[in-house]
Structure 1
Amino acid sequence: MTKPFLKSHYSAVVVGGGQAGLSASHYLQKHGIDHVVFEQKTVAHKWKDERWDAFCLVTPNWQCQLPEHPYDGDDPHGFMVKDEVIAYVDGFIDKVKAPVFEHTSVTAVEKTGDLFRVETPIGTVTAESVILATSLYSRPAIPRAAERLLDTIVQIHTADYRNPGQLPEGAVVVVGSGQSGAQIAEDLHLAGRKVHMVTGNAPRCARFYRGRDVVDWLADIGQYDITVEHDGMTKKRHDTNHYLTGRDGGRDIDLRKFALEGMSLYGRMRTVEHGRMLFDADLTANLDHADRVYNGINALIDKHILKHGINASGETVYQPAWRPETDPTELDLAAAGVSAVIWAIGFSPDWSYVGLPIFDGTGYPVQRRGVTGVEGAYVLGLPWLWTWGSGRLLAVGKDAEHVVGHLAGTLAERRSMTRQAANG
């Protein structure tokens, strides 16, 4: 990274120094476009500061495809652990050498005439274009019901969880069964902690099926190339990711199996009242939904194998290892000896600094592969911006290349028109 003197004007301003912002900087440099990157914290801080100690990739290493920085280790079908992921990302940071101002938040982005006005604590700059690469994961989501928990119960978000030892002795409630929640629940469970797992509508996926990683099968089928404009895919932007893990070489996460081993499961949390956590009576439905998705993905693979005459044995349909006798609707936290609650219900975006008419009624930017309706304004790094891998190491670089290519073309056209006007 380099930190140049702050100029008053740039051709492009990038907001956010994560993998999306760095990928944008990479392509801006290739196009010779002067730019600056503003990062509120530190470059790639989410990988370094918001992952637990036992964290590892959920997708195989070969899917690490940042621009001109593919995974080049000796275990493409393995799953890098936290320190290895950080080393991979640091290698990309060193290659890009982006002009980044860290610890510099953007407080306002507005457009006046043909230029954008970008405000920061270190000064205000103008730009002909702006790339918003701050993702949907800005603010840890904590429900208002958390305020009703007793002060004696430790509360943390998944972004702050590191290991079981940081929590006081006693039972732990994990609220949310997405990727992070399921893996953290497993981390606690393997450490011998009593875990109360609050489920939602998160789907699950097999790790291996018919002799291969499911991700490899899905790549062959073309699932990672399907765009958000395919029939029925738009809603994917708001879907919860499938839960599974790459831990210890990779395996399924089966909440039913955890229940057989002593983990307590509940439906979606409704609220907290008088020392009790209250739940919807939908645990059975949640588990069944996750299994339907699991079996549906495997059936898709079965169809692919049959169609192409592939020699791969082991066709199976998952049968529930455990079923709840009833759907529990409350948990007395004190009686259960609960000492900590981990909120694993995701994050919320922070677009408060953006004064541009680019959002729909849900607060999601209206765009087509990162190109918004406001000329010169782009977004990058969002889940399902274009494909399944858009918000991840797999395809964020491809989207950045597209966005910067569009940006470069727009700049060239605008400057050509300006020259023509000046020449009469």
Structure 2
Amino acid sequence: MPIEKIDTLVVGAGQAGIAVSEHLSNNNVPHLILEKNRVAEAWRSGRWDGLVANGPAWHDRFPNLQFEDCDPDSFPSKERVADYLNDYAKMIKAPIRTGIEVTSAKRLPGQGGFLVETSDGSIEANRIVAATGAFQHPVIPPVVPSETAVEQLHSFYYRNPRQLPDGAVMVVGAGSSGAQIADELNRAGRKVFLSIGPHDRPPRSYRGRDFVWWLGVLGLWDLAAMEPGKEHVTISVSGAYGGRTMDFRRLAGEGVTLLGMTQSFANGTLSFAEDLKDNIANGDADYTKMLDAADAYVARTGIDLPEEPEARKTWPDPDCLTNPIKELNLAEEGITSIIWATGFRQDFSWMHVDAFDDRGAPVHQRGVSSEPGIYFLGLPWQSRRGSTFIWGVWHDAKHIADQIAIQRMYQDYRAPSERNSEAAE
């Protein structure tokens, strides 16, 4: 059986793969998308039941299709986001094949393309776009041994409070996932402990505008690189319950026990860093910085937005903040489960090409790899702060597709001697 050939092979049919398909089609680039699961599978099976988008419907979308059945300022459910991406793929007639896993890709010696092995056979491609996203493999730090009498799972596999055994819950991680899950469990009547590391904590809205609007008018979505020293700082923001600023003092006032970063485990006891006060203070400073920048923008532009002095009022310090807990015995506290909201690692082990550094991270410029013919899409900070958001990946995808079109133009060029030779034949 002859091997199928395609100009550009896109691996992954999430928001990145769908976005680049639209731009490749606009550039008349023949392409194919392979997805090992369903379209937008991570939104369906890699999120908890109550998750909603972190951005409002008017903003967290592709430019050419709105969430028609959603209030523009509401936060669509995870299932609605998945349906939206599926609808978009159909609208642009994206050439997607589902249920096909790519197992390896390697350069064809002396031929300029790649041989791609899949669960459905081999494909030769001139170019490959790795659109597998930023959230590939959940990471649980090796802190609590697996044989410990407590259930441990990553936030990727958490679905709802009923899934967990009776008892108190430890949530590790204060990014959007950890904070929202801790809030949900507390509302469900669970005793919750939340281990908090360094984080940014923007206001959900201020002076009548969502924080995504403020990031836009202040030019912060287009930051090209993370601030030095903030490489491991997460962002705690939520669209849950209609959208509300994530305030850890409020959570503590509602019953959640706050703890510093989880450090070690021994003899049934977890130990925590003495950094809770600093982490909360730095999160507060980030929050205040955004309010100050917004106020300065209003003063400079004269835009008519109502003042909001209530936004600067703080909840009282809970006892767990003024007297931080250094150690916690799981059995004594009745903790029967630990949810690790501790991020993901990327996996490009299927790509046998010279496109990675010593740590296995892609070497690229705005997604254009150092290896000719290889492209990446959906990476954090690929070109800007907004690169992992639905609207941000759409703009990164346009750049990738344009670069592919440019390379095709160069490769189609024929020198005068070549044109004369072809004419003679």
Q: TM-score, normalised by structure 2?
A: 0.91
**SS at 2:105 equivalent:** strand
> Is residue 110–residue 117 contact of structure 1 (8 Å, CA) maintained in 2?
yes
Name which of 202, 209, 212 aligns with 1:205. 202
Counterpart in 2 of 1:147?
Answer: 145
Q: Name the CA shift for 1:248/1:219 in 2 (closer, same or farther; >3 Å).
A: same
Q: Name the CA shift for 1:405/1:264 in 2 (closer, same or farther; >3 Å).
A: same
Name which of 389, 406, 409 aligns with 2:403. 406
> Is residue 16–residue 131 contact of structure 2 (8 Å, CA) maintained in 1?
yes
> Is residue 171–residue 340 contact of structure 2 (8 Å, CA) maintained in 1?
yes
After superposition, give the CA deviation of every residue in 1:195-229 in whole Å (9 maximum; x if it has no partner).
0101111211111212322222222222223334x
Tell me the distance in 1 between the aligned counterparts of 2:3 and 2:286: 51
Counterpart in 1 of 2:125?
Answer: 127
Q: Which runs of 5+ in 1 are unaligned?
A: none
Q: Name the CA shift for 1:68/1:117 in 2 (closer, same or farther; >3 Å).
A: same
Which amino acid counterpart does residue 142 of structure 2 have in structure 1?
Answer: R
**SS at 1:339 equivalent:** strand
Moved more, 308-317 or 43-52: 308-317
Per-residue deviation, 1:344? 0.4
Tell me the distance in 1 between the aligned counterparts of 2:400 and 2:278: 41
Tell me the distance in 2 between the aligned counterparts of 1:192 and 1:370: 45
Aligned identity (percent) is 34
Moved more, 282-291 or 320-329: 320-329
Per-residue deviation, 1:396? 1.0
> Is residue 130–residue 378 contact of structure 1 (8 Å, CA) maintained in 2?
yes
Matched, 1:300 2:297: no
> Is residue 26–residue 67 contact of structure 1 (8 Å, CA) maintained in 2?
no
Q: Which runs of 5+ in 2 are unaligned?
A: none
Per-residue deviation, 1:374? 1.7
**SS at 1:403 equivalent:** helix
Tell me the distance in 1 between the aligned counterparts of 2:415 and 2:194: 61
Tell me the distance in 1 between the aligned counterparts of 2:197 and 2:178: 10
Name which of 259, 265, 280 aligns with 1:266. 259
Q: Name the CA shift for 1:420/1:254 in 2 (closer, same or farther; >3 Å).
A: farther
Q: Name the CA shift for 1:195/1:153 in 2 (closer, same or farther; >3 Å).
A: same
Which amino acid counterpart does residue 139 of structure 1 have in structure 2?
Answer: H
Tell me the distance in 2 between the aligned counterparts of 1:72 and 1:39: 26
**SS at 1:252 equivalent:** coil
Tell me the distance in 1 between the aligned counterparts of 2:228 and 2:8: 29
Counterpart in 2 of 1:291?
Answer: 284
Q: Name the CA shift for 1:128/1:187 in 2 (closer, same or farther; >3 Å).
A: same
Counterpart in 2 of 1:249?
Answer: 242
Matched, 1:97 2:90: no
**SS at 1:412 equivalent:** helix
Counterpart in 2 of 1:330?
Answer: 327
Per-residue deviation, 1:301? 0.8
Counterpart in 2 of 1:48?
Answer: 44
1:1-400 to structure 2, matched below 5 A, reads 8-66=4-62, 68-73=64-69, 75-111=71-107, 112-113=109-110, 114-148=112-146, 150=148, 152-228=149-225, 233=227, 238-311=231-304, 312-315=306-309, 317-319=312-314, 321-323=316-318, 324-400=321-397
Tell me the distance in 2 between the aligned counterparts of 1:74 and 1:145: 42
> Is residue 16–residue 38 contact of structure 1 (8 Å, CA) maintained in 2?
yes
Which amino acid counterpart does residue 279 of structure 1 have in structure 2?
Answer: F
Per-residue deviation, 1:289? 1.4
**SS at 1:165 equivalent:** helix
Q: TM-score, normalised by structure 1?
A: 0.91
After superposition, give the CA deviation of every residue in 1:390-409 in whole Å (9 maximum; x if it has no partner).
11112211111110111011
Per-residue deviation, 1:86? 2.7
Moved more, 68-77 or 401-410: 68-77
**SS at 2:106 equivalent:** strand
After superposition, give the CA deviation of every residue in 1:61-90 in whole Å (9 maximum; x if it has no partner).
112332522434452122112332233222
Which amino acid counterpart does residue 302 of structure 1 have in structure 2?
Answer: D
**SS at 2:22 equivalent:** helix
Which amino acid counterpart does residue 313 of structure 1 have in structure 2?
Answer: E
Per-residue deviation, 1:40? 2.6
